[in-house]
Structure 1
């Protein structure tokens, strides 16, 4: 069927480009099976999406070595696809973004809220087209327009976070208050978020879903060791140290009020190689908070790496004479998933794949408990993906169910103890569990 997805004119567009959408031929929508649970009536749903990296300058059938912004003189080098170019340095095309938001609009109007873990802008890779402050604002406004056209914000709360590509200077963000926070407060105003003075100063905020569940939208840029504008968290007045204190106070409050907390931020504490991404003191103090409040934190969601990966917060069973009580274990598909027998898994950090098609595109739907005694506990998730190479070949993007966590990993719910059993089975690198995990890390890309 032929569908006009969206049609907008952005007023006073600083880069003189109108956001005009085109018709796309989409296959008949498939019925997506909802996760079945015996206590289905006592559960809610939310989405996790990340790393849109929208590039309005993306040209289909152009040269990927030119970031898909220009055509090569030799036609054989013009290989960019309509829906993206995996394993290149090209960002997300109009066609990919339009089809993705159409899929979201058609299939997810029954979710309670949406967590978006940042990176809206294209990467600052093309030196011939530098980012400007006006362009940054325009890009953020554009995605908010997509959100407002796709969801009823009065019913479905959209909760964004800041990424390392959401500023006009890649990886760089100075202490607040600053111009970016001020601009985003205005741009995000239609989302009706709880943007208090904490956001104007630090870029983070707490959004209550209800009296039993809160989402912390954190600013990982104030922990990030590539951000030269800040100091490590051992400096008490550094923005990272101030944010850590805010997190601790908020978690204490949540524990006292018996609220569960979901933490959302762009950059995970460990990168795709399992190495810390945070400044040393920030990293240690952050991990300590995760461990200390693992009874309060029932979900932790990041993006940034474009990979579907798991990280485990572990605690030593024998804490005597141990300097660091809590530690992180990253599940790298290229290494054996070993864990010392004297450690317990107490929290799981979920990193979701991106819409941006460095691999295949991904969107995740979670189910969480709304029963009185288990409110906010993660029950399951469905990972959806779009095969970008296939889409480019057949001329249309088809979102499919990639896997369901409970079925793939044989779990009753996504509790730390259940994941610990999965981890134990994964120690056999020849096991089906390990093979499945390794396949899904790069979103079933071959």
Structure 2
């Protein structure tokens, strides 16, 4: 017993030394170091272990520790302009700019999560914790990347009781040493994240060390797949397309198929989470072969995939997996605000891909709460979601953030549950260019940002 205690003490000393021995030589270092050293506030445990049928989806925090209120947005809200009229960055963020999220926004977000959502069963977080590497005067370093991930984990641990509410992250395209670039695993980033995410008590097996993906079981009837979209992304120059057998994308596809097959045999429902959606306003986000094979997997296993969740675009958007006639050939239909869905009403929708708004205030920040069935026969089926948002312009004006409900899916779209058949009826109503539903979709597409 004494030897075990000694080992634990030695481990704590080493971990503490590692933080102190790697200071980041910038003007924000001491402030952030002190934040990391603060003790988390206490979470009151709930003895009720039954599932509530609720979970959260949050994405794209993009915390920038260098953000300065009332600075110049053209200088990424980090420096002042000589002309005072240009210094107009907001306390809680600056809409429609290249600035990232200030501490004030991040703090208020996690405070809202702490106060409002202690009864959720789990949280899906679809990545991009770090600021963008846009500022030529202050580039990212590996130390900063590690520090950023550690700080977000600290926020999470202070907000949720991990033994009660599982927090399931994915890897974003701004979470690497270099923006959009991640070489085949095992690599130093995935190795570091394995240690940094250790407090979250996730199922990070050798699959994560090699590929950056993992399966987290909520219970025996529901699993969440945290995928690594960086190994599909056509912006990642470090990898090859999925027609190369040993490419990390091809290997991940095999893992997905294996896990989906097991889920089908065990009659488990599956939620899929990843950062980058396969299709957006710019077209295919994945290498083409990866894209085609991934979409076919979604279609073939749509009977057990109950939900698909992404971020990255800062938009509230829908994409449908459709089946072509009687042939098992699946395609994606993305509802883009610039292209009215003048499509045939007999589209056979088999699955819906949900892309949620971000915390970073490119548009107004958003948080989404999903509801799912906990009944025996329909367990895991999505029944509704509530979209929360904050009006950043208003917050900057009045000096505080007010999170409120933007809309409720079932009421807004007139559907009883978020099933493919329900969304097919919505899509049919949107065909008319003057339809109310299409106008509503356009409003929420950019999170009610004027």
Give the structure-1-normalised TM-score. 0.91
What is the SS of the residue equivalent to 2:31? coil
1:16-69 residue CA offsets vs partner (Å, 9 max, x unmatched): 232367xxxxxxxxxxxxxxxxxxx99600000000000000000000000011
1:261-285 residue CA offsets vs partner (Å, 9 max, x unmatched): 0000000001234x10000100000
| Structure 1: runs of 5 or more not aligned | 1-9, 22-40
2:154 — aligned with what? Answer: 145
What is the SS of the residue equivalent to 2:351? strand
Alpha-carbon shift at residue 14 of structure 1 (Å): 2.4
2:300 — aligned with what? Answer: 292
2:89 — aligned with what? Answer: 80
- Cα distance in 1 between the residues matched to 2:19 and 2:243: 45
Q: Is the CA contact (8 Å cut-off) linking 1:49 and 1:115 kept in structure 2?
A: yes
Alpha-carbon shift at residue 338 of structure 1 (Å): 2.7
Q: How many residues get paired?
A: 413
- Cα distance in 1 between the residues matched to 2:342 and 2:216: 36
2:31 — aligned with what? Answer: 18
Alpha-carbon shift at residue 318 of structure 1 (Å): 3.4
Q: Is the CA contact (8 Å cut-off) linking 2:67 and 2:100 kept in structure 1?
A: yes
What is the SS of the residue equivalent to 1:60? coil
- Cα distance in 2 between the residues matched to 1:160 and 1:211: 20
2:39 — aligned with what? Answer: none
Residue 189 of structure 2 is aligned to residue 177 of structure 1: no
Residue 329 of structure 2 is aligned to residue 325 of structure 1: yes
- Cα distance in 1 between the residues matched to 2:30 and 2:148: 11
2:446 — aligned with what? Answer: 442
Deviates more, 1:113-122 or 1:309-318: 309-318
Match of 2:234 among 206, 218, 225: 225
2:11 — aligned with what? Answer: none
2:132 — aligned with what? Answer: 123
* Superposed structure 1 runs of 4+ greater than 2 Å apart: 10-21, 338-343
Correspondences of 1:376-415 after superposition (within 5 Å): 376-415=380-419
What is the SS of the residue equivalent to 1:255? helix
2:285 — aligned with what? Answer: 277
- Cα distance in 2 between the residues matched to 1:373 and 1:284: 32
Residue 74 of structure 2 is aligned to residue 65 of structure 1: yes
Q: Is the CA contact (8 Å cut-off) linking 2:52 and 2:120 kept in structure 1?
A: no
Q: Is the CA contact (8 Å cut-off) linking 1:46 and 1:113 kept in structure 2?
A: yes
Alpha-carbon shift at residue 343 of structure 1 (Å): 3.2
- Cα distance in 2 between the residues matched to 1:412 and 1:386: 26
1:37 — aligned with what? Answer: none
Alpha-carbon shift at residue 371 of structure 1 (Å): 0.4
Alpha-carbon shift at residue 316 of structure 1 (Å): 1.4
1:112-142 residue CA offsets vs partner (Å, 9 max, x unmatched): 0000000000000001111111000000000
Residue 357 of structure 2 is aligned to residue 347 of structure 1: no
- Cα distance in 1 between the residues matched to 2:159 and 2:171: 21
Alpha-carbon shift at residue 11 of structure 1 (Å): 4.3
1:237 — aligned with what? Answer: 246
- Cα distance in 2 between the residues matched to 1:205 and 1:220: 12
What is the SS of the residue equivalent to 1:281? helix
Residue 340 of structure 2 is aligned to residue 310 of structure 1: no
- Cα distance in 2 between the residues matched to 1:247 and 1:344: 24
1:54 — aligned with what? Answer: 63
Q: Is the CA contact (8 Å cut-off) linking 1:42 and 1:369 kept in structure 2?
A: no
- Cα distance in 1 between the residues matched to 2:378 and 2:74: 51
- Cα distance in 1 between the residues matched to 2:210 and 2:336: 36
Alpha-carbon shift at residue 339 of structure 1 (Å): 2.8
Q: Is the CA contact (8 Å cut-off) linking 1:42 and 1:371 kept in structure 2?
A: no
What is the SS of the residue equivalent to 1:374? coil
Q: Is the CA contact (8 Å cut-off) linking 1:213 and 1:376 kept in structure 2?
A: yes
- Cα distance in 2 between the residues matched to 1:134 and 1:42: 39
Alpha-carbon shift at residue 336 of structure 1 (Å): 1.3
What is the SS of the residue equivalent to 1:53? coil
Match of 2:360 among 356, 362, 366: 356
1:161-196 residue CA offsets vs partner (Å, 9 max, x unmatched): 000000010000000000000000000000000000
- Cα distance in 2 between the residues matched to 1:434 and 1:142: 40
Q: Is the CA contact (8 Å cut-off) linking 1:318 and 1:342 kept in structure 2?
A: no
Higher helix share: 2
CA distance 1:42–1:211, change in 2 (3 Å): closer
Give the structure-2-normalised TM-score. 0.90
1:278-336 residue CA offsets vs partner (Å, 9 max, x unmatched): 001000000000000000100000000000000000001232xxxx7100000112211
- Cα distance in 1 between the residues matched to 2:317 and 2:222: 24
What is the SS of the residue equivalent to 1:298? strand
| Structure 2: runs of 5 or more not aligned | 1-17, 36-49
